[in-house]
Amino acid sequence: MAKRDYYEILGISKTADDKEIKQAFRKLAKQYHPDLNPDNKDAEAKFKEVNEAYEVLSDADKKAKYDQFGHAAFDQNQGFGGGAGYGDFNDIFGDIFGDFFGGGSGFGGARAQRTGPKAGSDLKIKLDITFEEAAFGTKKDIKISRIEKCTTCDGTGAKKGTNKKTCPTCSGAGSVKTVQRTPFGQFASTKTCSTCNGTGEVVEEPCTACNGSGKEKKSRKLSINIPAGVDTGSVIPLRGEGNHGERGGPAGDLYVYLNVKEHELFERDGNDVWCEIPITFTKAVIGGNIEVPTIEGKVKYDIPEGTQTGTVFRLKNKGIKNLRGSGKGDQYVRVKVTVPKKLTDKQKSLLQQFAVEMGEKDEKNDGDKKGFFGKVKDAFKE
């Protein structure tokens, strides 16, 4: 059977560069690898085919010969006709087996890597603030508890006056290697050394303050500036104020989640403020000046005569500052007309006179003209 074109096998064009060739190979090698396709002869054959194509096209000299003479260039001197050759693919299969097994692996050997600096984890706290503090901004002191470098051993974990030693298990490499022989060659896999946890060093005499961990938990007091206009759900990041890193790694961040307490008078809608104000029956009828509370203090406002319950007035620029820009919101005032529940005889008499002046009639003595409640009664008769 005629051998397939190597470019066709990898699904690339003849103008593909080294990066494209490598990417195509890695994708197909993962797809057809025998460990992911047990007892699949077709996948095994394709895996060999892909490997053969890559070994030629990834080598500049071999690729040039193949481009000029095709498969004939290797029939005599490479022996590719009967099976795939396996070269040193640590750079490729180290990534592939890292995906499979969580460690660097490859054909013919493995590269041991010590664990490097590790960044500290982030912290999150919740902070309650008042409505006014959210509206105008404020400065707050907060307390946190975080992991820091042990001050006694300066983070080494070793007793003062002593040093760390090279790990005897991995000889300072930070990882250990195991080798397995398979029909496709020799596979070497690496795992983090369990003795030193990948650091390559061990502590013979642990620090008594941190028991050899090199870390300790401390409480810290921090000041935080809260800008005007924040709301519930706003997050303020404090860079580098989280848990400290390991082996020289950077500290994590602290995220402060704000919660704004409810106000007894005001409600917030974006940057606008709402409030409800009761007004007397008399004030609603004849109008006049009323006193309105705002987040900045009390202001005077003239309401027109005949104001009804539910009427909303707007106080421009009396709302909350825009957190991400200039300008402010408005305040909206909803009025509620209050009706007195207890009246003196004189008050009742005055209201009756007022009703007569307004042309109101007694519904019971309205002649042939049915009043409102009479019409309602008729409407719901069976």
**207 annotated as ligand-binding:** yes
Return the ∠ at Cα 62 (arms to 61 and 66), rounded to 5°. Answer: 120
d(CA 250, CA 240): 7
Contact indicator for 210, 153 with CB cutoff of 8 Å? yes
pLDDT at 65 over 90: no
Each residue's pLDDT tens digit, 287-338: 999 999 999 999 999 999 999 989 999 999 999 999 887 899 999 999 999 9
pLDDT at 12 over 80: yes
- What confidence category does residue 115 fall into, taking pLDDT thresholds of 50, 70 and 90? low
**196 annotated as ligand-binding:** yes
* pLDDT for the residue 376: 52
- What confidence category does residue 378 fall into, taking pLDDT thresholds of 50, 70 and 90? low
Each residue's pLDDT tens digit, 225-252: 999 999 999 999 999 999 998 877 899 9
Helix (H, G, I), strand (E, B) or coil at 289: strand
- What confidence category does residue 216 fall into, taking pLDDT thresholds of 50, 70 and 90? very high
- CA neighbor of 233 nearest in space, from 200, 255, 213, 204: 255
pLDDT at 132 over 60: yes
Is the model more confident about 358 or about 254?
Answer: 254
Tell me the pLDDT of the chain averaged across its residues: 82
Contact indicator for 116, 46 with CB cutoff of 8 Å? no
pLDDT at 108 over 50: no
**275 annotated as ligand-binding:** no
H/E element, 187: strand 185-192
Looking at 54-63, 268-277, 355-364, which range is the least confident one? 355-364
Each residue's pLDDT tens digit, 25-53: 888 988 888 778 888 889 888 988 988 99
* pLDDT for the residue 83: 38
pLDDT at 102 over 80: no
d(CA 174, CA 170): 6
Q: Please spell the DSSP secondary structure of 1-32, one letter per residue.
A: -PPPPHHHHHT--TT--HHHHHHHHHHHHHHH
Percent of the chain's residues with pLDDT above 90? 42
CA distances (Å), 336 to each of 81, 283, 308, 330, in order? 95, 11, 8, 20
* pLDDT for the residue 71: 82
Which domains are delineated in the chain?
6-85 (1.10.287.110), 118-155+215-262 (2.60.260.20), 267-338 (2.60.260.20), 345-379 (no CATH)
pLDDT at 131 over 50: yes
d(CA 217, CA 148): 6
For strands 312-315 and 254-260, give the pairing. Answer: unpaired
